[in-house]
Chain A
Amino acid sequence: MTTTHLAFAVIIIALFSYWLGIKRAITVAGGEQHTRQLVSLPSQYGLLTAFWCGLPAILFLLIWSAIEASIVDSLLIQQVMLTLDTTAQQNMSLLVNNIKILAEKVQLNEDVSAATALQLQHAAYYTELNTKATWLKTLLTLVIAVGCVAVLLTKIKQSFHARNNLEKIVSGLLFTCSGIALLTTIGIVMSVLFESIAFFSKVPVTEFLFGTQWSPQIAMRADQVGGSGAFGAIPLFVGTILISTIAMCLAIPVGLMIAIYLSQYASPRLRSVAKPMLEILAGVPTVVYGFFAALTVAPLIRDFGILVDLPIVAESALAAGLVMGVMIIPFVSSLSEDALTAVPAALKEGSIGMGATHSETIRKVLFPAAIPGIVGAILLAVSRAIGETMIVVMAAGLAANLTFNPIESVTTVTVQIVSLLKGDQEFDSAKTLAAFALGLMLFITTLALNIAALKIVRKYREQYD
């Protein structure tokens, strides 16, 4: 049986054992009408039995599937070693692969006349090993499933606390789920980290961090005319900062004004229309913003440049930054509005009751009280802007110019990652690995911003409840 079939079999056994558990509980209690004597509900005994049957068997299946291939391989290699001289052993992985392919061909009745007798013998051994492993797996899984049910059924007594055991299993399952999220994060960080370390063994850290030339093309052969391969990330960071700054210059004031208007001045009817509209703005896919930037805003800006006699390039940082600013307005406005609304009404009444006007109250009382939430919103928006890719890919171009001039074309970290990993790539060249180093830098930056945002929000939160 394959692993999938086995898993289904275990589930069916588990369903059956649910029923068995209930039956057993009722029997122990002495009949349907005496179930009140049990310390837990009959269905809880059933559920516990089902979990006890399913979980260990599934867990065993998972572990077995993870290690089966390597055990079979090592057994096969042992066998091959016996019959080969030492010179051939260097190509062991190739040999093993050939044997596996041969075994498959034999099973599918394909033409194997090219193979030697020895190879066929190995292939047959491999097939035999696999068959044995499958049998062992099936047998053990079923034994575990049935065995666990049997053990549990004997444990069910009137005083057996199925309820508490069930609670433990549930909390264990929840813990596992949160563990998965945590492990995934750690896994991503580790993979980026290790590839970056590989990159830094080819390109010095100082060149990457402080170099002002970015030209990741590397000649693959000696006679090829290619870039020299310069990996100075400064132009990319400058480009990122430039575009993010333009975006924030638009998003912070507009977003805050929207937040103040919606939370303090707007009539309930207007608010009920405007809030969902803003949320739609946050839901527009960034690629749509991207072509809006490239096809609408960028030409507009260029035409305006012609009007005032200013040479604005078609793929200017300005266009990308402005559209990105529009994109993150909802982040700033929505979170800031929450922060403003969360300020206790008593503070507002206190200020109004002192004879302050509405705008004085907002400026001097509500806004300072909401500052932690607002700063959190802004930092979140900044990390969003720094990590944004689609808009800049489409609107800002690829040229790594080191400039702070918003009407020139610049490129950003994320754009370069995309262009480095686009198409075919080899995973040992500095060009590809550079993407991981850039990713690491990006990750560290946004992580730092997020931590700062959380710190600020936490530090001031309790003060005004």
Chain B
Amino acid sequence: MNTVMTSENLTSGDIVINGSVGTPFCDDAKMSMRNVNVFYAENQAIHDVSLDLAKNQVTALIGPSGCGKSTFLRCINRMNDLIPQCKVTGSFVMDGAELYAKNMDPVLLRARVGMVFQKPNPFPKSIYENVAYGPKIHGLATSKSELDEIVETSLQKAGLFNEVKDRLDKPGTGLSGGQQQRLCIARTIAVSPEVILMDEPASALDPIATAVIEELISELKEKYTIAIVTHSMQQAARVSQKTAYFHLGKLVEMGDTKQIFTNPSHQLTENYISGRFG
């Protein structure tokens, strides 16, 4: 709350956010969000945000605390359904289908749009069971050997297999923080999603584990469309191709990462990335 107040005092007094600038839309969009508003009871958390997630690219959502970037991310796979007072309006389209349509099953949607959380949250089960969890509930494997294969390939894609192959039956909670986060990524990959949402996936990790995760994200974009919320601007610059800057629930500017970080169009974006606040 304080951060919001401060940044508002610092900036919004003289700088007006009047629609977003830059290029929020692209030609090969995997997902298209239009005129999104999100309300928590009386409070509006997101104001009229429209943007695209480009296919097989990493889109970074940046902005000061409380700017609504996490809220926006969680709307994309309808995790906000879990919060009773939360109301979402606007349109979310993935491959031509409206995500908030009546006939859209949020459970199936979440299998197609996976999510990795800020704090590593492996289930209190073995490493194997953690990865096999998704395939089991979605019936993706018909036999034990098929399941074994899914688990192995998922762990390999997450770059964890060589570290844990001898102890797949040990609890996932016994791994280090970085390994736990890669386990969570492997768990998400195991259900073959099309989009992966990452909510500050490296904020609880040390620099070395962070570097491993960032490298992994760059590899994963070959197969998946990725949206990542991050507080670290260096991280956004390193891993993403597109960057969206949020401020007070509004999308201020979006464009190619290189352009945003070298030549931002909006004064607020420039203030933020040059470290004047946030």
Residues on A close to B: CB < 8 A? 267, 344, 346-347, 349-357, 360, 364-365, 368-369, 463-464
Name the B residues within 8 Å of A365 (CB-CB).
Answer: 123-124
Chain A residues with Cβ under 8 A from B112's Cβ? 355
Q: What's the Cα separation between A365 and B134 when bound, in Å?
A: 12
Per the bound structure, the CA–CA distance linking A352 and B114 in Å amounts to 10
Known: A364-B133, A463-B173. A352 touches B110 (CB 8 A): yes
Identity of the chain B residue whose Cβ is nearest the Cβ of A356 in the assembled complex: B137
Give 13 pairs: A residue, B residue, CB < 8 Å, sorted on A. Answer: A349-B82, A352-B110, A353-B115, A353-B117, A353-B188, A354-B110, A355-B137, A355-B138, A364-B133, A364-B137, A365-B123, A369-B124, A463-B173
Question: Any chain A CB within 8 A of the CB of B97?
Answer: no
Q: Tell me, in angstroms, the Cα distance from A267 to B110 when the chains sit together.
A: 24
Asked if A352 contacts B124 (CB within 8 A), the reply is no
How many A-B residue pairs have C-beta atoms within 8 angstroms? Tell me. Answer: 72
Inter-chain contact A368/B77, CB cutoff 8 Å: no
- Which B residue sits closest to A350, measured CB to CB? B121
Asked if A463 and B137 make an inter-chain contact with CB atoms under 8 angstroms apart, the answer reads no
For the complex, give the distance between the alpha carbons of A346 and B122 in Å: 9
Please measure, in the bound complex, the distance between the C-alpha atom of A352 and the C-alpha atom of B82, giving whole angstroms: 9
**Which of A344, A355, A368 is B191 in contact with, Cβ under 8 Å?**
A355
B79 at interface by CB-CB < 8 Å: yes
Residues B79 and A352 in contact, CB atoms below 8 Å apart: yes
A353–B114 touching, CB < 8 Å: yes
Q: Considering only CB atoms, which chain A residue lies closest to B119 in the complex? A: A346
Partner of B133, one of A267, A344, A351, A357: A351
Contact of B137 among A349, A360, A368, A464 (CB under 8 A): A360
Contacts of B134 in A (CB 8 A): 354-356
The 8 closest A-B pairs by CB, nearest first: A355-B111, A346-B121, A353-B115, A355-B110, A350-B121, A354-B134, A369-B124, A464-B124
**CA separation between A346 and B77, bound complex, in Å?**
16
> How many angstroms between the C-alpha atoms of A464 and B124 in the bound complex?
7
List which B68-115 residues lie within 8 A (CB) of chain A: 77, 79, 82, 84, 107-112, 114-115
A349 and B73 CA atoms in complex are apart in Å by 14
- Whether B64 is near chain A, meaning CB under 8 Å from some CB there, is no
B182 within 8 A of A: no
In the complex, residue of chain A having the shortest beta-carbon distance to the beta carbon of B197:
A353
B contact residues around A355 at 8 Å (CB): 107-112, 134, 137-138, 191
- Chain B residues with CB under 8 Å of A354's CB are 110-111, 114, 133-134, 137, 187-188, 191
A267–B85 Cα distance when bound, in Å, is: 12
Contact B123 A350 (CB under 8 A): yes
Cα A350 to Cα B188 with chains together (Å): 9
Kindly state whether residue B66 has any CB partner on chain A within 8 Å. Answer: no
A360 CA / B122 CA spacing, docked (Å):
16
Question: In the assembly, what is the distance between CA of A346 and CA of B79, in Å?
Answer: 12
CB-CB under 8 A from B109, the residues of chain A are: 355
New A-B contacts (9) at CB < 8 Å, excluding given A354-B137, A355-B191: A267-B84, A347-B123, A350-B187, A353-B77, A353-B79, A353-B117, A354-B111, A355-B110, A369-B124
Does B54 sit within 8 A of A, measured CB to CB?
Answer: no
Q: Is the C-beta of B170 less than 8 angstroms from some C-beta in chain A?
A: no
B38 within 8 A of A: no
A365 to B108 Cα, complex, angstroms:
19
Contacts of B114 in A (CB 8 A): 353-354
User: Does B171 make an interface contact (CB < 8 A)?
Assistant: yes
Which among A344, A354, A357, A360 has the highest number of chain B CB atoms within 10 Å?
Answer: A354
Kindly list chain A residues whose C-beta atoms are within 8 Å of the C-beta of B151: none
Q: How far is the CB of B111 from chain A (nearest CB, A)?
A: 3
Whether B107 contacts A356 by the Cβ 8 Å rule is yes
